[in-house]
A and B are shown apart, each in its own frame.
Chain A
Amino acid sequence: MRSVAVFVEQDSGAVRRTALEMCTKAADLAKELNTASMAVVVGTGANAAADRLKATPVDKIAACEDPIFERYLLDPAVDALQSALEQAGPAIVLFASTNASKDIAARIAVRLRAGIITEANEIAVKDGSLSVQSPKFGGSVITTVAIKNAENAVIVCRSNSFAAREEPGKGEIVSLPAPGGAGYRATVHERRSEEAGKLGVEEATIVVSGGRGLGGPEHFDIIEGLADALGGAVGASRAAVDAGWIAHGHQVGQTGKSVSPQLYIACGISGAIQHKVGMRSAGTIVAINKDASAPIYDFCDLGVVGDLFAIVPELTKLVKERKGAA
């Protein structure tokens, strides 16, 4: 029987909520399949991360703490994960939808001759086999995909798709040997942080986005103010990104990120189809636009027609008051 594994990304021991969501999902799937679940975590801080994962419902945590993971780009991580998986036997392996995890997922899939399913937002077991939901074509079509002719399955999961649950003290930690390092080619020379500690739009449960209606880069601070008050991330339309007002990593849409937060607030964004495809799967959409005929009003849950420069600061104030009172 295939076991269920999760590749967990960590940064100095800190793990993202998505990893906790996937660990919970892995444990639940393993239970249904009558098999075991395992988390694999590598890099500087892996041991601290493993301790944190003990509070999730996974059965086992394989950790490898070694500086080699920082010296080379992903090659050691792929090797370490492969050896952990080979020990465990055939597996369903879950990955987060980050740049690093998507790369490792694709490479592990080639090595293990696994079926790969990306953008998964629901994983179920039907009659003993996997059934995975994955939105395609900008979320306009939801496909249901199964694995065939392969012992292993690699599934790249969207953030905010599964609920996270704690089960303190459950997992058993085992340590993985460090990979050898022979033949690693891609060398990391330095890491520069530009927006340290800021939440990415893909993972945030709340995204506040600004568009051309902001009129200039200096006005993104009011979007940031609201995002901070709500504990969310800052997104942007392509128009705002192409104007150079904000880094392209913030872009939501067809040529940016696809997000599915609980709440999406669009400020000064018209709602073009290419923007819509990146955010249509948000739980709730709120729009602020001064043009009552903007297309965004056709698919938002609440629209307020008015000047964002007046409404957003007022909204930030009210949110802070509410949070202060709660």
Chain B
Amino acid sequence: MKIVVTVKQVPDTNAEKVFDSTTNRLNRTSIENVLNPFDEYAIEEALKIKEGAGDGSTVTVLTMAPESGREVIRKALAMGADDAAILSDPAFQGSDAMATSYALAQALKHIGFDLILAGTQSTDAICCAIPAALAEHLGVSCLTYARKVTVAGGEVEIQRDIEGGYARVTAPLPAVVSVVKGINEPRYPSLKGIMGAKKKSIEVLSAAAVGAEAGRVGDAGSFTRVQGWAAAPAREKGRVIKAADPGEGAKAIVDFLIAKKVI
């Protein structure tokens, strides 16, 4: 079975975000990037499925990013993925969610897959759109928000997070599955894994290589335009009181809530 995990590099939460004033786009090269935390769960799940199958299944990692995306790829390889592909081409610059999902889908067709694993969201954009969009582009089953995944006999079964509980859902492969945090404990790369990762292959794919039409990627292929951005107003430091006793503390809160008309 060929498992492909889509991963994204995202700016570190603590990093200061710098925007290009002409394009209104985040300058991703000037800040520290990390592997999207949600994707670690997808990688771990892929490795577990591969190890459980024990049948020569492989795990490939795919990212669409500038060449600097190699760093996050290396972490995935060090965790145990077999090989990687990085979709990188100036033509992709400025791709929005729809253009990104199209480009990734083209790459997935090029690489081939039985099972695609993804995180549920990225911490920078929080689109939560790519996994379902991929399934739609590829015309395969879409099983998202999985808290448990089992693969057997050409079929995948998940427990899907739903409002107030879960649903048991099955579908034939090929399929896209996105996993929620909490599905597993992502492993730390071992020293051996880190050394071994250096020898693993990272294929760089251009737009032409995956047959992505020029009009459907990059800024020209995007349907949204960021017109402007502003730093969110900082939250002011409010009143902090030290209550003499619990009753007084509780009373201060209730009075405050009444003044705010919350209760």
Residues of A within 8 A of B (CB): 11, 73-75, 98-100, 102-107, 109-111, 113-119, 131, 135-150, 153, 156, 185-198, 200, 206, 230, 241, 247-249, 251, 254-256, 258, 262-263, 265, 273-274, 277, 280-281, 284-286, 288, 292, 297-307, 310-312, 314-315, 317-319, 322-323, 326
Cβ–Cβ < 8 Å partners of A105 in chain B = 129
Cβ–Cβ < 8 Å partners of A107 in chain B = 132-133, 135-136, 142
Chain B residue at minimum C-beta to C-beta distance from A140 = B232
In the complex the two chains form, is A102's CB within 8 Å of B170's CB?
no
Cβ–Cβ < 8 Å partners of A299 in chain B = 234-237
In the complex the two chains form, is A116's CB within 8 Å of B38's CB?
no
Q: Which of B133-180 contact A (CB under 8 A)?
A: 133, 135-137, 140-145, 160-172, 175, 180
Query: Is there a chain A Cβ closer than 8 Å to B11's Cβ?
Result: yes
Report which of A73, A113, A206 forms a contact with B169, defined as CB distance below 8 A: A73
> Which of B64-72, B75-83, B191-199, B254-262 contacts the other chain?
B254-262
> Which of B54-62, B106-114, B204-212, B241-249 contacts the other chain?
B241-249
Shortest C-beta distance, A288 to chain B (Å), equals: 7
Shortest C-beta distance, B45 to chain A (Å), equals: 15
Cβ–Cβ < 8 Å partners of B130 in chain A = 106
Cβ–Cβ < 8 Å partners of B97 in chain A = 106, 109, 116, 118
> Which of B1-9, B84-92, B222-230 contacts the other chain?
B222-230
B contacts with A: majority SS: mixed
Cβ–Cβ < 8 Å partners of A265 in chain B = 253
A185 to B171, CA, bound (A): 5
A contacts with B: majority SS: mixed
In the complex the two chains form, is B250's CB within 8 Å of A318's CB?
yes
Report if A196-B165 is in contact (Cβ < 8 Å); known contacts: A186-B143, A292-B242: yes
Cβ–Cβ < 8 Å partners of B246 in chain A = 306-307, 310-311, 314
In the complex the two chains form, is A187's CB within 8 Å of B169's CB?
yes
In the complex the two chains form, is A106's CB within 8 Å of B14's CB?
no
Query: Is there a chain A Cβ closer than 8 Å to B17's Cβ?
Result: yes
Cβ–Cβ < 8 Å partners of A74 in chain B = 142
Residues of B within 8 A of A (CB): 11, 13-14, 17, 19, 24, 37-38, 96-98, 101, 123-133, 135-137, 140-145, 160-172, 175, 180-182, 222-232, 234-243, 245-247, 249-254, 256-258, 260, 262-263
In the complex the two chains form, is A147's CB within 8 Å of B223's CB?
yes
In the complex the two chains form, is A142's CB within 8 Å of B226's CB?
no
Report if A248-B180 is in contact (Cβ < 8 Å); known contacts: A107-B142, A142-B232: yes
In the complex the two chains form, is B223's CB within 8 Å of A304's CB?
no
In the complex the two chains form, is B241's CB within 8 Å of A142's CB?
no
In the complex the two chains form, is A143's CB within 8 Å of B226's CB?
yes
Cβ–Cβ < 8 Å partners of A277 in chain B = 13
In the complex the two chains form, is A109's CB within 8 Å of B124's CB?
no
Q: Could you give 28 example pairs across A and B, Cβ below 8 Å?
A: A73-B167, A102-B129, A102-B132, A106-B136, A107-B132, A110-B98, A114-B223, A115-B224, A116-B98, A118-B126, A118-B127, A141-B17, A146-B225, A189-B167, A191-B168, A192-B167, A193-B164, A247-B182, A254-B123, A273-B13, A285-B235, A288-B253, A292-B240, A297-B237, A303-B239, A305-B242, A314-B249, A315-B254
In the complex the two chains form, is A139's CB within 8 Å of B162's CB?
no
In the complex the two chains form, is B164's CB within 8 Å of A241's CB?
no
Chain A residue at minimum C-beta to C-beta distance from B159 = A192
Chain B residue at minimum C-beta to C-beta distance from A281 = B232
In the complex the two chains form, is A110's CB within 8 Å of B101's CB?
yes
Report which of B129, B144, B164, B222 forms a contact with A118, defined as CB distance below 8 A: B129
Identify the 7 closest CB pairs spanning chains A and B, nearest first. Answer: A115-B223, A310-B246, A248-B182, A314-B250, A303-B240, A301-B238, A150-B223
